[in-house]
Structure 1
Amino acid sequence: MRTQPPVRPEPRTRTLDAPPSLVPLLARGALLSPFKRPRPDAPVPATRLVLPGARIDLAHLAAYERVCGFPTGADALPVTYPHVLAFPLAMRILAGRAFPLPLLGLVHTSIEITGHRECPADAEYELAVLVERLAPHRRGTEATVLTEARVQGALAWESRSTYLARHSPRDPGKDGGPGREQGRGHHGDRRPNRTRDHRRGPDPRRDAEPLPALAEWHLAPDVGRRYGAVSGDRNPIHLHPLTARLLGFPRAIAHGMWTVARCLAEYGPGETARVRAEFRAPVLLPGTVTYAARGPRFELRSGERVHVTGAVGPTHARDE
């Protein structure tokens, strides 16, 4: 008997006065992780966190741009930066007792971004985060997190990220049943989720033609620590080989959001208001990777192993 993901109840909005402090949240999430029994039929957290009046720290923005390879000093935010702005709110939910997946080992598997309008670096933002759904995955349970940024009440930017907690789908928890196969792989042999609405953005896997190599990057062992310092994402799998091995990786791995940001920085300042990316295999640190692109599609690979596939689209496509 297959489990059915529960319907998320109408979220209760909770407004914060300031961004949550990440260090206590990370510690809390780590402490609670061993006690969580992930399963796709667990209740979805019903809280929508909102932070009004968020302003951009220009020094922090410049540090982020340097780590990811974006040019500094632009009037508009890089398309991936609002994800970092709202990360403390997401962590408040993911590290909480009501979120059923363990924070330790939780892996970012995909992201879809829509920039509805330019996001100025000097604007004031209202940020909002909620968990939309939990779903069975061949390797465990996957959560979809919706993040929004508004300027003067109008939606300026939104994203949907999926996060995978690995566990045996045949043993999802005392009250759960076997999960449905919706995709393959944990940063690996992942296939498109057939329940996802592919009209939301450009398809990074529209055809199978190899993309031409445009650049080769030699990644230092501290890439995860440097990105963690500017993003606040200090998941142990990114920071050191020892902590990564404890969670099943041979070495530390690069953040998925760093890889897609680095690819978009290389892609250039064209119209990238709609972005879809899938994180298909971990990028081990240190390492050498190849950036390849043609038209709207890009990918990051090493040899024949593809780590990231992505596609971009113009602003005017958002209403199609």
Structure 2
Amino acid sequence: MPAPLDRMPRLGPLYRAAALRRAVAADPVLPERELTVEAVTVDRAHLAEYNRVCGFRLRDELPATYLHAVAFPLAMALMTAPDFPFPVLGLVHVANRIELLRPLPSSAAFSVSVRAGALRPHDRGTQLDVVTTATIDGNPVFSDTSTYLRRTGSGASAASARPAAEPPAPNAVWRVPRRVGTDYAAVSGDRNPIHTSRLLAKVFGFPRTIAHGMWTKARCLAALEGRLPDSYTVDVAFKTPILLPATVGFTAVAQGGGWDYGVHDGRSGRPHLTGTVR
């Protein structure tokens, strides 16, 4: 069901709604609305800051991950609505897929839509997808699928219980400063306190603040900049959080015309993220 909006929602009221929401629907059903904003244009100063934080060069084309940040207020509006079945602060971002169908010119006007779907059981709870699409003059150019997990148990999965495999030798070693959490929160709008407040991160079970998963994905694509085609699909699975500050290893291996890439802990070798570009 289309639900057009005049402009991107303001995040302040949405965060207040998220903070107040605690109840989980007894019989979860996802809303059928698709929130849409027409004629979305790029703020060049914001783009420059996003590129700085994530490591991209300044270009006339948008990074593949940029529209995820642009559409974040729409996703929050959908996920904090009274008929959304889960509190947004209880959802864990476990995977993301971006399909870039053509280069995204920074001068374009985009129609951006967000919807939720694919509610399904998982061995640790329930999963769902939040799907963002963008068009230029009615033609699809971008799709972003974020998979979220609503945990219903505290037990670790079999995969996380296994010892970490020996990681490959990194192509690069990144020192990730504590400010990455607050810097990416400012450019993405994602101000979840687990990324910005050490005290509140501890409330949610983390010893320190953690890096945003989408920052880590963007940083990986920035490292591959200049070696990617005009259109591609980039998948990522978020494994373990990066506790800030951190030293991590980045690995990329050319594979079948694309790339297999990953980020792992610089000491333990435990993976933070694994992904592919095809």
User: TM-score scaled by structure 1?
Assistant: 0.79
Equivalents in 2 of 1:63, 1:105: separation in Å? 29
Q: Does the CA-based 8 Å contact 2:92-2:148 persist in structure 1? A: yes
Of the three residues 153, 160, 166, the one matched with 1:168 is: 153
1:67 is matched with 53
1:169–1:252 distance in 2 versus 1, CA, 3 Å: closer
Matched position secondary structure for 1:104: helix
> More strand by proportion, 1 or 2?
2
2:24 is matched with 37
Matched position secondary structure for 1:122: coil
- CA RMSD in angstroms comes to 2.2
> What displacement does 1:133 show?
2.2
Equivalents in 1 of 2:121, 2:208: separation in Å? 28
1:156 is matched with 141
Superposed, 1:200-215 pairs within 5 Å as 210-215=167-172
Q: Does the CA-based 8 Å contact 1:298-1:311 persist in structure 2? A: yes
1:294 is matched with 253
1:270–1:209 distance in 2 versus 1, CA, 3 Å: farther
1:318 is matched with none
2:15 is matched with 26
Q: Deviations over 1:196-227 (max 9, x none)?
A: xxxxxxxxxxxx99543111111111211110
> What displacement does 1:17 show?
0.3
Aligned residues: 268
2:274 is matched with 309
Equivalents in 2 of 1:114, 1:212: separation in Å? 29
2:178 is matched with 221
Residue 243, structure 1, aligned to residue 200, structure 2: yes
In structure 2, runs of 5+ residues without a counterpart are none
In structure 1, runs of 5+ residues without a counterpart are 1-11, 171-182, 192-207, 314-320
Matched position secondary structure for 2:89: coil
After superposing on structure 2, the runs of 4+ consecutive aligned residues of structure 1 that deviate more than 6 Å are none
Q: Deviations over 1:142-172 (max 9, x none)?
A: 22011100000000000111012222399xx
1:46–1:266 distance in 2 versus 1, CA, 3 Å: same
- More moved, 148-157 vs 91-100: 91-100
Amino-acid identity (%): 42
Equivalents in 2 of 1:249, 1:101: separation in Å? 21
Matched position secondary structure for 1:146: strand
2:188 is matched with 231
Q: Deviations over 1:38-65 (max 9, x none)?
A: 67x5111111001000000010000000
Q: For 1:56, give the aligned amino acid.
A: V
1:147 is matched with 132
1:205 is matched with none
Equivalents in 2 of 1:242, 1:222: separation in Å? 15
Q: For 1:269, give the aligned amino acid.
A: G
Q: For 1:17, give the aligned amino acid.
A: D
Matched position secondary structure for 1:19: coil
